[in-house]
Amino acid sequence: MIKMNLAFAFLCLFTVEPWRVCSQQQQQRLLVNMTLVPSARASGALCLDGSLPAYHLHRGFGAGKDNWLLQFEGGGWCNDLKSCLDRAKTRRGSTRYMTKWEVFSGILSNNATLNADFYNWNRVKLRYCDGASFTGDAVFTNKTTTLHFKGQKIWEAIIRDLLPLGLGKARKALLSGCSAGGLATFHHCDNFAKYLPTNASVKCLSDAGFFLDERDISLNHTMRYNFKSLVQLQGIEKNLNGNCTRALYFPDLCFFPQYALRYISTPYFILNSAYDVFQFSHILVPPSADMHGHWKQCKANLAECTADQIDTLQGFRLDMLGALRPFYMNSRRGGMFINSCFAHCQSELQETWFGDDSPRINNKTIAEAIGDWYFSRNISKEIDCAYPCDATCHNLIP
């Protein structure tokens, strides 16, 4: 990353029109430095490998200087010792292996043209290194290895670090996240609101985090098993919504958003594809359910899907809309943007967040829908027609 930036600086100095090249680069790439949290060690709020947690903060300005947007990073989970040990040796389990500079784009952009509602807010990216959507609280140790399952503590440590930097006096705040980070917003939304002034406008957004409790094509509950083992391994159950765990016979199911959502009191927005490509490949058609590779071509190219496979995908969409129906019908303060693009995470990519050819529902982009909802400009509950009717998805279909 540093070498690339030096090369670009050289280009800026010696190009015929340096102001044009450099200004274009600045518009396209905002690089934000990493901040470690040394105080986290005292509370044991450590990444899987024992390294310090971290975040990236880009300061707000002007009318947005007292407003805060926190974005959980995504990146899957580890639900057994082997996968967690492997993960601890990568950027998903250790800040030692992470890039020290992160690109802020989409909802994190500081460009008013590209991010009209949040460009001048304080924007924070919380780095993900615990493997359980910032919810675990346990430690595994033997003679040779220690794994820190401390996502809940990491969340608390980062918040405590940000409060004196201005978060504690926030006037407006939005807690968001993508994928496993989107799932984290379900589990920390109400807690986030409790840290902030009572008169602050606090809301939450999940991007590609509405993971379904769905049977796979072999009729097994693969994702349910994965989440159950994750909850047990990382000591998560005590950090799930208490009202939810008391209501369900199997409390670990509260890790699924569809069961936890009804107990969240803070205003909430759900951004998701009805054909989320991660869920397509890991919930509906996980490798264990397609041992002979009948779905391999369909996963790689939708044009190769058979009519029966498309019917299965349409069934998945209907199940997702069914799980969301109570929220759609009963939440007056909630918002939705459920499109039919084969995508996963759409708020951090500029092309999907807001652009000339960005996805739209009823001619409204994702950025416009979320902005209308947050600022109460308009009712924002958008559900797309079924694939393949949406022509704005052309740039996303694999």
Residues with catalytic function? 179, 276, 344
Q: How many residues does the chain have?
A: 398
Helix, strand, or coil (residue 287): helix
List the 381-383 sheet strands across, edge first. Answer: 101-104, 30-36, 54-58, 122-126, 67-72, 172-178, 201-207, 268-273, 335-339, 381-383
| Sequence-separated (6 or more) residues with CB below 8 Å from residue 56 | 32, 33, 34, 35, 101, 102, 104, 124, 125, 127
C-alpha distance from residue 145 to each of 17, 65, 80, 82 (Å): 55, 44, 14, 11
Helix, strand, or coil (residue 235): coil
| Sequence-separated (6 or more) residues with CB below 8 Å from residue 171 | 66, 67, 197, 200, 201
φ/ψ region of 235 (left if φ > 0, alpha if ψ in -120 to 50, else beta) reads: left
Q: Nearest CA to 188 among 199, 177, 201?
A: 177
d(CA 123, CA 59): 7
User: Which residue do the tokens 């008169």 mark?
Assistant: 199
d(CA 287, CA 279): 12
d(CA 323, CA 181): 20
